[in-house]
Structure 1
Amino acid sequence: MLDIKKIVVPVDLNKNTQKLVDYALTIAKPFDAEVALFHAVEFMTMGEMALGNPNYDDMNTTHKNNAQKTLSEIVTIASTKCRKCTSEVVIGDIVDEILAYTKREDGNMIIIGTHGKRGFERILLGSVAERVLKNAHCPVLVMNPYK
């Protein structure tokens, strides 16, 4: 049987993040597992550059700081329900950063949310959950927090 010690939970900090975190905490409890919440700030795009945001470093730093503040608040609440709850925010490619963090932190499982996008919308936007599922070194549990 898989010995689950650390569950990595990538979050996008949208309105359904708390549902995903609560689900992960429920899964972690019987294993007495640590929960590591993770958020990756995507690099600025060419479209954002065209909108007149020339200072990428400032924009990325501001977004990262805001994400850290929000994630810190979530961790404070989650810590009352979990043996150990940590968080990290990085800047980079979302999928690459999730996979690298999980390996670096010895994650035994990933619990990730999906938006349930289909068809043309999925082709345009891609699917972070699907790419993580295909490339992860450990089991991945995908949860739809919208239902």
Structure 2
Amino acid sequence: MREIKRIVTPIDFSDNTETIVSAAACIAGKFSAYLDFIFVVQKFEDYTAFFTPPANLPAMRDDLLNAAKEKMNAFIEDNKDELYALGVSTVNGQVISGDIAEAIVNYADWANAQLIIMGTHGYKGFNRIVFGSVAERVVKTACCPVMTVNPYREECKKNQK
């Protein structure tokens, strides 16, 4: 395995984000690796089978991207002390748009990442049936190893406290 210099971690700002970020920061700190947090704004085109998109779709997409960028900046600012305490010296936050799994894989490839660390859970129920597991698709198509974190396991929750 190559030396780990850059880690990509997709986040969604859900309740599980803290668990996934902690795992990624611990690994990044151990390897003194650069840590990229990415948030993917899903393409509305993926939902056209369910509804007719509004005419102002480009403006709506821009509003979502801008709101997500603000949230990413605030997230990094709010967590930088904890990240640095875990040994992470370089953190980057990116917001991108597209098919979620494809965007994660493409970003990791573009960033020349040696590892992707991501949660195992996102979509549930009907959305999971329609869109499939993002983590599964990333594992199958990634250009580098993928470490998945199950935020629902009791060990994860115990280690958080």
Which category describes the TM-score, using the shorter chain as reference length? 0.7 to 0.9
2:40–2:103 Cα contact (<8 Å) kept: yes
Distance apart, 1:2 and its partner CA: 3.2
Instruction: Name the TM-score, length of structure 2 as normaliser.
Output: 0.80
Amino acid at match of 2:52: M
Amino acid at match of 2:34: E
Q: How many residues align?
A: 145
User: Mapping of 1:1-147 within 5 angstroms?
Assistant: 1-44=1-44, 45-46=47-48, 47-49=50-52, 53-80=54-81, 81=84, 82-115=88-121, 122-147=128-153
Q: Aligned pair in 2 of structure 1 residues 109, 72: CA closer, same or farther (>3 Å)?
A: same
Instruction: Name the TM-score, length of structure 1 as normaliser.
Output: 0.87
Q: Aligned pair in 2 of structure 1 residues 17, 124: CA closer, same or farther (>3 Å)?
A: same
Give secondary structure in 1 for the equivalent of 2:117.
Answer: strand
Amino acid at match of 1:49: T
Could you tell me which runs of 5 or more consecutive residues in structure 1 were left unpaired when the two chains were aligned: none
Distance apart, 1:76 and its partner CA: 1.6
Alignment RMSD (CA, Å): 2.1
Distance apart, 1:63 and its partner CA: 1.1
The separation in 1 between residues aligned to 2:123 and 2:59, in whole angstroms, is 31
Give secondary structure in 1 for the equivalent of 2:144.
Answer: coil
1:9–1:37 Cα contact (<8 Å) kept: yes
2:20–2:149 Cα contact (<8 Å) kept: yes
Distance apart, 1:146 and its partner CA: 2.9
Deviation sequence 1:84-103 (CA, Å, 0-9, x none): 00011111111111111111
Q: Aligned pair in 2 of structure 1 residues 83, 139: CA closer, same or farther (>3 Å)?
A: same
1:25–1:78 Cα contact (<8 Å) kept: no
Give secondary structure in 2 for the equivalent of 1:132.
Answer: helix
Could you tell me which runs of 5 or more consecutive residues in structure 2 were left unpaired when the two chains were aligned: 154-161
The separation in 2 between residues aligned to 1:67 and 1:117, in whole angstroms, is 19
2:114–2:145 Cα contact (<8 Å) kept: yes
Amino acid at match of 1:7: I
Give secondary structure in 2 for the equivalent of 1:74.
Answer: helix
